[in-house]
Amino acid sequence: MAKSFRDSLEAGFTITAEIPPPKSVSFPKSIEVAKKVAGKVAGLNVTDNQRGMMRMSSMAFSHILLGVGCDPVWQICCRDRNRLALQSDLLGASALGIKNVCVMTGDYPTLGDNPGAKAVYDLDAVQLMKLTDGFSNGKDIRGGVMKNHPDFFVGGVVNPFYEPIELELLKLQKKVNAGAKFFQTQPFFDIESVDTFLEQAKPSGAKMLIGVTPIKSMKMLKFLNENVLTKPIPDGVSKRIEFASDQMMEGLKISAEFINGIRDRVDGAHIMPINQVASLPLLLDMVEEGNGA
Amino acid sequence: MVYNAPAMIITKKKDFEEILFAIGDTRSLFLLGCGDCATLCKTGGEPELKEMSQKLVAKGIAVTGTAVVPAACHELDTKRVLRKHKDEVDKAQAVLALICGAGVQSVGDNTDKPAYSGCDSLFIGNSKRQLHYYEKCSACGECVLNDTAGLCPETRCPKSLLNGPCGGAVGGKCEVNSENLCVWIDIYNRLKKAGKLENLLLKISAPKDNSGLAKPQKLELKREPGR
C-alpha cells in the first residue's frame, strides 16, 4: 500500500475521495474504481448511511476497501447507534485494520429512506470524538485504563458556509479540543471563499480537506444551488458548465483546476463525486496532468 | 372547572375507524373525558364526548353514559367519578376514555371493565394561545437549562445535541423542520448577549446519564411532620 492517509496529511497536500457503500452485496463497479484510484488518493472516505439512506455498513465496506489496497476513512455517525454499539464498532473496526475515523452527527432519519426509524443520538459528534480519542490514548469511556487499545486518526466535518460562522467555528474548536485532527468541508467552488475560510479556521490548528464536487450538468448545478448549498455556485462556474459542449467533462476539468489551484494553500482536497464515482479515476488523471496548475 | 389554564399533556384524537377496530364487537360503552389537558386540547371535553356519542350511536353502539373527570391523571378523582356513575358503567361492556395515556390507565386500573383509548398522547406542551401548543421540555431527568441560556436543546433540537449545532441549519432554520429556528442559534444569540459565549460553548458536555431513567419511574415523597 502507498503512504497512509495520516502520513500523507502530515507530509503535505493530500487528496481523498468519497465512495458510498453499495445498497447490495455485489458491487464490482465500486471495487473497480477503488482499485484504479488506490494509488492516487491517500484515503477513500466511506459514508455511513449518508442522508439517512440505508446502505451497507460503512465499517464492512471500509474493510473491503482495505482489502483492495485503499486506506479507508471510515465515517461513523451518531444517528443509528447508542454508546455501547459505537464503542464495540470502534474496537471491531480497529481489529479489522481501519485506522481513520471521521465522526459526524448524521442527518435526521426523516430526511432519508427509513423515515420511521428511531433517531438515537445517544452521543453527539463531540462526545464520540472525545471517546474515540480516549480509546486511542488507552482510556475507556469512564477514564479507566484500556489495554491493547485502538489507535485512530480522528476527524470530522465543518460547514464553512454556516451562519453565524462564529458559532460553527466555536464548534470546530470544540471538536479539536475533543481530539479531532482533520476536517472535511462542504464543497467550495471558488478560491476566494477557500482563503476566507482558511483564515477563519486557522486558530483551530486542524488539518483542512477542502470539499470538491464536480458538476456534471446544469440540472445538477440547479439542484445543488436550490437544495444543498447555502452559498450559490459562482457565475463563472455556471457559465462554463452552461456553454460547454460536454458538461460532464467541463465539470471534471473545473474540479481538477480547482484542486490544483488550492494545492499550495491548504492541507488537502476531499472529492465528493455525487453520482459520478465512475468518473473519479479520470478526474484524478486530470489533476495529475496538472490542469489549471 | 378551570378552562383557561395552559395544557400539559397534549393529545390528538384517534381516527374513529381505529377506535371502532379496537373496540371490536363491543356493543355498549361508557365514555369518559378529562376536564384538564384533554378539554383544553379539544380531544376529551364535554363537546368531544357528545360528538363521540353521536358517532357511536350512528354505528349502533349504545352509550350508557358520559362523564368528565376533573383531572384523570389523579387516580382518586377517576375512581370517584367511576363510582358516582356506577350504574351507567355497569351497563356498559367497556369504557372509552378520550384522555391521555396516563388518564386511560387511571381508568383501567380503577374499574373491572376494559378501558379503550380514544386519543394519542403527543408531548408536554406549553401554550402561547388557545389550541397552539409547543414542546419545550421532555422531562429528561437532567436539566441543562442553566448551561444553555434557558433554552432546552434536549427537546428543541431534534437530535438532542448537547454540544452545539449539527451544522445542518439553512438560513438559521432547522434541517429537520424548516418552520423552526435552530435552537442552538438562539442559545448562541442569548449567550453572546450575556457575554458568556466562549466559556459555555467550548465546555464539552458529557454524555447524558440515562441510568436513573429506567421506566416506569416513580417519586414517592414523605410527608414532613406538621406540614
Interface predicted TM-score (ipTM) of this complex, two decimals = 0.92
Of B159, B170, B206, the CB nearest to A108: B159
For the segment B37-65, the average pLDDT, to the nearest whole number, is 97
Q: Is B55 exposed, middle or buried (0-12, 13-18, 19+ CB in 10 A)?
A: middle
Q: Comparing C-alpha atoms, which of A44, A160, A165, A141 is closest to residue A102? A: A44
Is the pLDDT at B197 greater than 90? The verdict is: no
Q: Which of A249-258, B96-105, B207-216 has the lowest mean pLDDT?
A: B207-216
Domains present along chain B, CATH in parentheses? 9-122 (3.40.50.2300), 142-204 (no CATH)
Q: Residue B56: pLDDT band by 50, 70, 90 thresholds?
A: very high
Question: Is A174 an interface residue toward B (CB < 8 Å)?
Answer: yes
C-alpha cell at B95: 369504557
Residue B170: per-residue pLDDT? 86
Cβ of A230 within 8 Å of Cβ of B158? The answer is: no
C-alpha to C-alpha distance for A49 and A119, rounded to whole angstroms: 13
Beta strands in chain B (DSSP E): 9-13, 28-34, 62-69, 94-97, 115-117, 119-129, 132-135
As for how many domains chain A has, the answer is 1
Nearest to A127 by CA among A179, A89, A63: A179
The answer on pLDDT for A256 being more than 70 is yes
Cα–Cα distances (Å) from B118 to B71, B82, B113, B121, B147, in that order, read 16, 18, 16, 10, 39
Is the predicted pLDDT of residue B216 greater than 70, yes or no? Answer: yes
Cβ neighbours of B161 in A, within 8 Å: 105, 121, 124
∠ CA A83-A89-A93, nearest 5°, is 150
Q: Is residue B38 pLDDT above 90, yes or no?
A: yes
Which distant-in-sequence residues (6+ apart) come within 8 Å of A253 by Cβ? A286, A291, A292
**pLDDT value for A231:** 82
CATH code: domain of residue A33:
3.20.20.220
**How many whole angstroms separate alpha carbon B89 and alpha carbon B42?**
23
User: Which residue range(s) make up the domain with A220?
Assistant: 5-288
With a cut of 60, say whether residue B6 has pLDDT above it.
no
Distances (CA, A) of A151 to A88, A184, A256, B113: 14, 20, 33, 61
Q: Is residue A293 part of a domain?
A: no
Tell if the CB–CB gap between A105 and B202 is shorter than 8 Å. Answer: no
pLDDT given for residue A289 in this prediction = 87
Residue of B151, B156, B159, B213 to mutate for A, most A C-beta atoms under 10 A: B159
Nearest to A171 among B158, B164, B207 (CB): B164
* Contact check, Cβ <8 Å, A174/B163: yes
Residues linked to residue B69 through DSSP beta bridges, in sequence order: B34
- In this predicted model, what pLDDT tens digit does every residue of B140-183 receive, in sequence order? 999 999 999 999 999 999 999 999 999 989 889 999 999 999 99
Q: Supply the mean pLDDT for chain A.
A: 95
| pLDDT single digits (tens) A73-84 | 999 999 999 999
